[in-house]
Structure 1
Amino acid sequence: MSSLNNDTALRPVLELKDVSIVYSSGQQATRVVEQVSFSILPGEVVALVGESGSGKTTTAQSIIGLLAENGHIEHGSILLNGTDISRWSSRRLDSLRGSSISLIPQDPTSSLNPVKTVGEQVAEVLKIHRRMPRKARDARVVELLTRVGLTHPEQRAKQYPHQLSGGMKQRVLIAIAIALQPALIIADEPTSALDVRVQKRILDLIDALRLEFGTAVLFVTHDLALAAERADRLLVFRKGQVQEQGITAEVLRAPKSEYTRQLFNDAPALTPRPLSALAHSAKHADSAIVVRNVSKHFSLGGKNTSAFKALDDVSFEVTRGTTHSLVGESGSGKTTLARLLLGFQRPDSGQLFIDGVDITQLSGEALRQARRKIQLVYQNPFASLDPSQTLFKVIEEPLLNFFKLSADQRRAKVHEIAERVALPLNLLQRKPHELSGGQRQRVALARALILEPQVLVLDEATSALDVTVQAQILRLLVQLQQELGLTYLFISHDLAIVRQISHSVSVLNQGKQVDYGDVESLFTQPTHAYTRELLSAIPGISHLRVAQPTPTKEFV
């Protein structure tokens, strides 16, 4: 968290006064933001937090004039350094974008032009707002890329976005945002697609630049732990309204709103109670999964005759009825290992046992039948469901592939598993786009469970969900594990969730397993330097006490 000099004489860089925003559709107008007021002082970080649809991103977009065409500010004012810009045209706002207000967007991949070099895109903001000789401009581009920590900046300036990693691309966007030292930076979920170590480096960089230039930062995020760690003040949004706002530490210690208390309680990094402890009674002595000396290489293609080691002699076992997590950064081998266990690919060496059967020795119909015992729940519950099918058909389909059952028998099984995952039966005739994210993930779980598998592979299965919905799904997973004796292989980059739901953990780094053990030992006494670095990068506020919610109410 930053150390802000509380000089009340400072004039706010940004001030919103009773801002209401409306979206119009035909003759109907829907107010999505209602009477929002807050301010940001020079050098201050203010975080807007809340679930999807709460109005936080719409509020941020209104400041920089990026509302959708059917959106407009119905009431209120937006003051930048004392000047009301709320009714400025887009053309007039162009004079401020980049120079006085900059935006760091959420997705670095879609935010950069794929046919322009990185250097050209950084130079563009300089061309628009400053007259500089080309040589001086090129030098400034290299200076900016150096400033944001990119190695070999002269070379990077000549590269295209696809040649950079996600973290590198996000640094390029930050270079563009700070090029003209704006008074205000709007950071809209700037690290949501990044691994925990890269996330920490990016946020440290923004913080260092804020301290150096005195820039105000509006931080939009659904990650409450990040907001708690990085912001001077919090604004909690719900259904277009600010539930409460105040100094971060004070809001965390004594939130006034019951919704805020529930939100904090559902955030695993803020209240790291182990959900997995509830499932310990389901343990048995045998192993549902055994990974023994598994290696997998991929050819780099072209003239390069060398191979990429995706997995290098990895071994672990997972006790039946428990949850084992695979953690590590992108490219560490987590997904490759999951694909091997699911039989989608074969290892170059080693053995993979599911329920005592080495699936590396199976093929054809024997492998297809073995897959009944291990099912996959994908990261994105919307993309993984057929949009043209009703939910009933989505859940029923695996039964058609494996069993000869009558229509009545299939209907009974679909209804039974829907009730098991708390999916209302009246939703079964709807299609995926008509459901919320949490409901879609319940459908994905029902589809995976209808074949009565022994093992579920959960590939970032909660990362696309808001914190409250995420907490509901995690509680459901624990409940299902208790009731059905399921074994989970949980793949995640969110170490706070891993600690909450896991019994054991494997840490992968560049294809190697660098740490392995029970969850508490690994989190409290990691043996490898890489693991210690991962753990140190977890945003958290263990030194602050977060108030607990009233347990009888749940927000949906």
Structure 2
Amino acid sequence: MSLLLARQQTAVVNPQPVLELKNLSIAYRSGQRTTRVVEQVSFSILPGEVVALVGESGSGKTTTAQAIIGLLADNGHIEQGSILLNGVDISQWSSRRLDSLRGARISLIPQDPTSSLNPVKTIGEQVAEILAIHRRMSRKEREARVVELLTRVGLTHPQSRLHQYPHELSGGMKQRVLIAIAIALQPALIIADEPTSALDVRVQKRILDLIDELRQEFGTAVLFVTHDLALAAERADRLLVFRKGKVQEQGITAEVLRSPKSDYTRQLFADAPALTPRTAPLPSSQQAAAGHAIVVNRVSKSFSLGGKQAPAFRALDEVSFQVARGSTHSLVGESGSGKTTLARLLLGFQRPDSGQLLIDGVDIALLRGEALRQIRQKIQLVYQNPFASLDPSQTLFQVIAEPLLNFSRLSRAERQTRVLSIVDRVALPADLLQRRPQELSGGQRQRVAIARALILQPQILVLDEATSALDVTVQAQILQLLAQLQQDLGLTYLFISHDLATVRQISHSVSVLNQGKQVDNGEVGAIFARPTSDYTRELIQAIPHYVPATGQGSDHHYAG
């Protein structure tokens, strides 16, 4: 029997939804102005069901989730509609009254595991807190229950974890602690707000598998808030597509994916690499004949962990690969695999312990002083986060023009001409140039970051998770822009990412790093089709992707 059919049969036995929203509208006040951000939203969740809210940033999905658990910002309020929890309308309950529900009947798994745990309290204290609020238990009983919960969510050495602090745990371990807190009282509803967006793909799969196991065990309903359409397609029974505060459409996942009704939903699905996989064309023979823009030859790098007796940490161990001019080479691997270290070496921010790093035939590891500074005109960096990488005190013109002040003696008129040319190249309106970064959307800010990197007319761009902070539609626009720039300017890209679906879409070649070692390297199609290492195979299998079922019915199953 399929999982969805089993849930549908359960729903017949117990037809009352755990959660039901009826015509919910939410607004924010700013001074005398009120802006409605969620409008007439209605949906329900049955026991044991997973419903995903998907859409871009600002679409209203997180605001809807916050309203359910009573955590709207101070200037937010419910204008109309109802929120029924097991048939009881809680939409007008006070925060104090809602405290009796939070953790006991509704739990939240937040997005960022690092900022969601108290850094000055032990793990044991933080898990025990929810038990102390809602249950009468002795200290010994609470500690035993905490150990049981940490064991249940798969943390090794749970007794030892009681006395550790959050900074001593990895991101995946911290998220498991948050899940332990969320399930401590076996709530009827768990709201998972982007619960894995900060995690690597293998850890992400383990966390989602864990939530699914717990849902099946306790019959808990899950409201899954995400902008990752592949995850929603893989994990949810039903989808709700949000745009500008309104539900564009909703329905059984398989049916929405098979025949979306709105143009917006169709575009979202078309822009998601994991739902519509595409492979970049290989470099032409003319490009390959032009040689290699980057050659990495047996590069190693170690770091001291402090103290004379402490062993050195080997971040890179004899890594080698070549990148043809005009092509895109991706570095993939989990946090700590050595990707960013290698990028910093190529940019001359650090020096390797051994090996060669050739940029256009010049070993950057041998350069010093002015020679090192000048070669950076050939290789530029686009950072991950467009919200943090731009100086908020500068206008966009100043942000983009700044590299010219460092590397060339152009007149103001010449700088303005160069800036206007590159802004046009990245499809940014020139009338934005006197604005500050905070006045722009995420996609516009990343276009500014790309323009700044291109202003010196480099041959190589290092793109460090350059699209991971962007919504799927904006990400698709930036990737399309990068492809056009590569075609027009002959640029070479080193694309650093843990998003394997995007890597498969845009790359010509790929290197897979695991704990500083290169475990796979070659043409992207060959690596994805025939990985040579177990690690690469596991990474590929962990990519969330939807596989429609063949045969009758609307059910679907999961690949990987």
TM-score range, shorter chain: over 0.9
Provide the residue aligned with 1:470 in structure 2: 475
Does residue 431 in structure 1 map to residue 436 in structure 2? yes
**Residue 10 of structure 1, CA deviation:** 2.0
Provide the residue aligned with 1:174 in structure 2: 179
Provide the residue aligned with 1:340 in structure 2: 345
> Does the 8 A contact of 1:53 with 1:239 survive in 2?
yes
User: Over residues 201-248 of structure 1, what are the superposed CA-to-partner deviations in whole Å (9 max), with x where a residue is unaligned?
Assistant: 000000000000000000000000000000000000000000000000
Number of equivalent positions: 544
Q: Secondary structure at the match of 2:281?
A: helix
**Take 1:47 and 1:57, find their aligned partners in 2: how far apart are those partners?**
11
Does residue 165 in structure 1 map to residue 167 in structure 2? no
Amino acid of the residue matched to residue 543 of structure 2? I
Q: Tell me which of 186, 192, 202 is aligned to 2:207.
A: 202
User: Over residues 353-402 of structure 1, what are the superposed CA-to-partner deviations in whole Å (9 max), with x where a residue is unaligned?
Assistant: 00110001100000000111000000011211111111001111111111
**Take 1:372 and 1:281, find their aligned partners in 2: how far apart are those partners?**
27
**Residue 277 of structure 1, CA deviation:** 2.1
Amino acid of the residue matched to residue 492 of structure 2? T
Amino acid of the residue matched to residue 297 of structure 1? S
1:530-545 equivalence runs, <5 A? 530-543=535-548
Q: Secondary structure at the match of 1:68?
A: coil
Provide the residue aligned with 2:278 in structure 1: 273
Give % identity.
80
Does residue 366 in structure 1 map to residue 371 in structure 2? yes
Cα 1:288/1:472, change in 2 over 3 Å: same
**Residue 305 of structure 1, CA deviation:** 2.5
1:15-30 equivalence runs, <5 A? 15-30=20-35
Provide the residue aligned with 1:553 in structure 2: none
> Does the 8 A contact of 2:508 with 2:524 survive in 1?
yes
Amino acid of the residue matched to residue 49 of structure 2? E
Provide the residue aligned with 2:554 in structure 1: none
Amino acid of the residue matched to residue 155 of structure 1? S
> Does the 8 A contact of 1:252 with 1:544 survive in 2?
no
> Does the 8 A contact of 2:283 with 2:324 survive in 1?
no
Provide the residue aligned with 1:258 in structure 2: 263
**Take 2:389 and 2:370, find their aligned partners in 1: how far apart are those partners?**
24
Cα 1:138/1:543, change in 2 over 3 Å: same
> Does the 8 A contact of 1:279 with 1:481 survive in 2?
no
Amino acid of the residue matched to residue 283 of structure 1? Q
**Residue 157 of structure 1, CA deviation:** 1.2
**Take 2:315 and 2:438, find their aligned partners in 1: how far apart are those partners?**
36
Q: Secondary structure at the match of 1:167?
A: helix
**Take 1:54 and 1:121, find their aligned partners in 2: how far apart are those partners?**
32
Provide the residue aligned with 1:228 in structure 2: 233
Does residue 391 in structure 1 map to residue 393 in structure 2? no
Q: Secondary structure at the match of 1:66?
A: coil
Provide the residue aligned with 2:557 in structure 1: none
**Take 2:270 and 2:133, find their aligned partners in 1: how far apart are those partners?**
46
**Take 1:230 and 1:279, find their aligned partners in 2: how far apart are those partners?**
36
**Residue 302 of structure 1, CA deviation:** 2.9
**Take 1:470 and 1:157, find their aligned partners in 2: how far apart are those partners?**
40
- CA RMSD in angstroms, aligned pairs only: 1.2
Q: Tell me which of 320, 324, 327 is aligned to 1:319.
A: 324
Q: Tell me which of 493, 514, 533 is aligned to 1:488.
A: 493
Provide the residue aligned with 1:550 in structure 2: none
Q: Identify unmatched segments of 5+ residues in structure 2.
A: 551-560
> Does the 8 A contact of 2:150 with 2:177 survive in 1?
yes
User: Over residues 39-80 of structure 1, what are the superposed CA-to-partner deviations in whole Å (9 max), with x where a residue is unaligned?
Assistant: 000000000000000000000000000000110100000000
**Take 2:531 and 2:541, find their aligned partners in 1: how far apart are those partners?**
11
Does residue 5 in structure 1 map to residue 10 in structure 2? no
**Take 2:456 and 2:191, find their aligned partners in 1: how far apart are those partners?**
47
**Take 1:215 and 1:280, find their aligned partners in 2: how far apart are those partners?**
53
Provide the residue aligned with 2:62 in structure 1: 57
> Does the 8 A contact of 2:188 with 2:220 survive in 1?
yes
Q: Secondary structure at the match of 1:228?
A: helix
Does residue 46 in structure 1 map to residue 48 in structure 2? no
1:286-305 equivalence runs, <5 A? 286-302=291-307, 304-305=309-310
**Residue 495 of structure 1, CA deviation:** 0.3
**Residue 84 of structure 1, CA deviation:** 0.4
> Does the 8 A contact of 2:283 with 2:508 survive in 1?
no
**Residue 284 of structure 1, CA deviation:** 3.2
User: Over residues 90-117 of structure 1, what are the superposed CA-to-partner deviations in whole Å (9 max), with x where a residue is unaligned?
Assistant: 0000000000000000000000000000
Cα 1:68/1:45, change in 2 over 3 Å: same
Amino acid of the residue matched to residue 103 of structure 1? L
Provide the residue aligned with 1:248 in structure 2: 253
Q: Tell me which of 191, 195, 198 is aligned to 1:186.
A: 191
Provide the residue aligned with 2:124 in structure 1: 119
**Residue 5 of structure 1, CA deviation:** 2.2
**Take 1:113 and 1:55, find their aligned partners in 2: how far apart are those partners?**
28
> Does the 8 A contact of 1:282 with 1:321 survive in 2?
no
> Does the 8 A contact of 1:2 with 1:231 survive in 2?
no
1:29-40 equivalence runs, <5 A? 29-40=34-45
User: Over residues 163-217 of structure 1, what are the superposed CA-to-partner deviations in whole Å (9 max), with x where a residue is unaligned?
Assistant: 0000000000000000000000000000000000000000000000000000000
Amino acid of the residue matched to residue 242 of structure 1? V
Amino acid of the residue matched to residue 439 of structure 2? E
**Take 2:324 and 2:283, find their aligned partners in 1: how far apart are those partners?**
12
Q: Secondary structure at the match of 2:409?
A: coil
> Does the 8 A contact of 1:310 with 1:511 survive in 2?
yes
